[in-house]
Amino acid sequence: MTKPPLTLYLAAPRGFCAGVDRAIKIVEMALEKWGAPVYVRHEIVHNKFVVDGLRDKGAVFVAELDECPDDRPVIFSAHGVPKSVPAEASRREMLFVDATCPLVSKVHIEAQRHFDAGLQMVMIGHKGHPETIGTMGQLPEGEVLLVETVEDVADIEVRDPSKLAFVTQTTLSIDDTKDVIAALQDRFPAIVGPHKEDICYATTNRQEAVKAVAPKSDALLVVGAPNSSNSKRLVEVASRAGCSYAQLVQRAPDIDWRALEGIASVAITAGASAPEQLVNEVVDAFRERYDVTVELAENAVENVEFKVPRVLRQPA
């Protein structure tokens, strides 16, 4: 039986960013250095496949520090943690390694600098997301006001409109965030922004790659986890860029083949915490059903690399 022809556009950059790659390496190197078990507070990154693989190697994932014994290493996830977490680990004399992405740490430093200068903070982010919780937890309670939408900006009550600054979660939609920033600047003309945009290079690059490929694709699939902020934003970006069918899938078995009947082209990308192995799995699933022509749709080249903490580079 003849397979129907299909063009697959592989968006690039896609998949692992430098912060995710570093966080996974930290867990693997900790297991090599100290042996299993090594405890990890929260998912190291938002991807079940990655987390399950590390669990198989001896990582134990927990929600809070009180689930960790004092005598085993604990690692903090790439999303960052409130200041109270390392403070508690220090009090208990635990061996801990912070896998917070350096670009998230940059936002933490900005927030502290503005606070030290007497400014109240506004954070643009998603309520309940680990990165938002971690960033807001850098400052005393009540010092950071959270907004998610343009509508939220109208409702916040600030201490002094002339003494305000804002930061953003690193994995937001670039376009949505611009609108929220514009609303903040319109209502509070004196508000101070970051020296350099907080949304990270990897989020920006993946969204721009999707914008470039979406208009010429009948469908676009984002390989990623449902709790991954940057992956969900890629679906939204694709829809707004003109792709009539954009869907998030964790693995190849999640593809809704009936929704794809009659299509001639599909774009594939992956969130920053999704491994390339899962992209290849999706491509192979298409090859089983279609006569596939693969085209690389490259929008930027990434060569960023972050060092792992010194404690892991030193001999045991």
Query: Using CA atoms, how far apart are residues 12 and 205, in angstroms rounded to an integer?
Result: 8
- Please state, in angstroms and rounded to a whole number, the distance separating the CA atoms of residues 227 and 129: 9
Q: Which of 131, 148, 157, 276 is the catalytic position?
A: 131
Question: Cα separation of 220 and 258, whole Å?
Answer: 14
Return the closest-CA partner of residue 171 out of 149, 212, 204, 135: 204
Cα separation values, 121 from 147, 163, 189, 216, 260, Å: 11, 9, 14, 41, 45
Question: CA 279 to CA 234: how far, in whole Å?
Answer: 15
187: CB partners within 8 A, 6+ apart:
153, 154
Instruction: List the one residue out of 238, 249, 253, 260 whose CA is nearest residue 285.
Output: 253
What SS3 class is residue 231?
helix
CA separation for the pair 132, 136 (Å, rounded): 6
CA 32 to CA 289: how far, in whole Å? Answer: 41
CA–CA separation, 246 and 268 (whole Å): 10
Active site residue 305: no
* Number of other CB atoms surrounding residue 48 within 10 Å: 13
Strand, coil or helix: 228: coil
Alpha-carbon distances of 80 from 46, 83, 96, 101, rounded to whole Å: 13, 9, 13, 7
- Which residues are catalytic, by number? 131
